[in-house]
Amino acid sequence: MKFTATIFALAFTAASAFSPAYTTRATSTSTTTTSLYAEVTVALIKELRQQTGAGMMDCKKALQESEGDVETAIENMRTSGQLKAAKKATKVAAEGQIFIRSNDDGAALVEVNCQTDFVAKDASYLAFANKIADEAIASSKDIDALKEQFEEERVALVSKIGENIEVRRVTYIAGETTSVYLHNGGKIGVVVAGSGDAQTLKNMCMHVCASSPQFLSPDDVPQEVIEKEKKVQLEIAMNEGKPADIAEKMVTGRMRKFAGEVALKGQPFVMEPKKSVSEVLKENKSDITAFVRLEVGEGIEKQDGPSFAEEVAAMAGGN
């Protein structure tokens, strides 16, 4: 009886040793053992990020799907093309094109960036970007919704082409009559909404492209913008050695012209510099109610991506 009990105890101990509840796996790239059902910790996310170069949230999602298994997460990211896309995501995408679509209600302008001019002419890139532009004019979705809808296709395209691709921004302009202009292979895109002569509106598109106005008319220029410019001009004049009273008079005279210089209708028309845009529109019985000018890469700073600590802080702030 005692002999039988001893055998039973040994058998129970042996069976318990192989119970899944106590199984651990060691990854080939880390000496740390991770429970199969372990909670996704910052340390795990950091380990996966160091091995893949993927973003914080992508690593967290991959680890959740793999139940904390780093090795499985890496394999899943590789097979989905996400790993290659993540490595390219740190590359600054400041090239690309502006894509424009219009209908009876207005127009949509979409900027899709890549890293080189070569890819900006690639058939796969163009098909992807044109598809987004078609969706924008059809649905009027904001940039976040467009990014979400086309994220899987973007990741696949990055994996195929080998460059970072970014759906950067979309802008909408309303108007029954719109004129469209793309300059230098889509590097600058302009849409003017208004009424009157079609050729006049087309010429106004080219003017907007060349002169880059910030406002529609001088009356639209905010007073704070004028005051800010006045302060800058005063500092310049003082640095040039002008007495304060003389500098004030000089700058006051400049400010009378400033609003016209930054507003479309107050600018000298590029094709007839002796006339203002407003005068040319009036002569041709035309008017402009709105305009949009987008230039590829404007405002993009070429710098390294955020550090791990910055990503942790951003993720914590989002929660």
- Per-residue pLDDT band at 71 (split at 50, 70, 90): confident
What mean pLDDT is predicted for residues 135-156?
95
Average model confidence (pLDDT) for the chain? 81
Most confident of 89-103, 140-154, 294-308: 140-154
Whose CA is closest to 196, among 177, 209, 173, 181? 177
- Per-residue pLDDT band at 3 (split at 50, 70, 90): very low
pLDDT surpasses 90 at 244 = no
- Per-residue pLDDT band at 28 (split at 50, 70, 90): very low
pLDDT surpasses 70 at 36 = no
From 69-73, 109-113, 236-240, the region with the lowest mean pLDDT: 69-73
pTM: 0.66
Supply the pLDDT for residue 124: 96
pLDDT surpasses 90 at 19 = no
pLDDT surpasses 90 at 80 = no
Most confident of 89-93, 196-200, 255-259: 196-200
- Read off the pLDDT of residues 253-271 as tens digits, 9 standing for 90 and up: 788 789 899 999 999 999 9
Question: What percent of the chain has pLDDT above 70?
Answer: 75
pLDDT surpasses 90 at 88 = no
CA torsion 51→53→56→61, rounded to 10°? -70
Q: Which two tokens stand for residue 188?
A: 């600058």
Supply the pLDDT for residue 163: 87
Higher pLDDT, 80 or 11: 80
Burial class (CB in 10 A: 0-12, 13-18, 19+), 288: buried
Supply the pLDDT for residue 75: 75
Higher pLDDT, 188 or 4: 188
311 vs 139: CA distance, rounded Å: 33
Higher pLDDT, 319 or 15: 319
One-letter amino acid at 3 equals: F
What mean pLDDT is predicted for residues 166-180?
95
Most confident of 54-58, 157-161, 292-296: 292-296
What mean pLDDT is predicted for residues 160-189?
94
pLDDT surpasses 90 at 16 = no
Supply the pLDDT for residue 243: 87
One-letter amino acid at 51 equals: Q
Q: Which two tokens stand for residue 259?
A: 């609003």
From 9-18, 19-28, 142-151, the region with the lowest mean pLDDT: 19-28
Whose CA is closest to 285, among 199, 223, 156, 179? 199
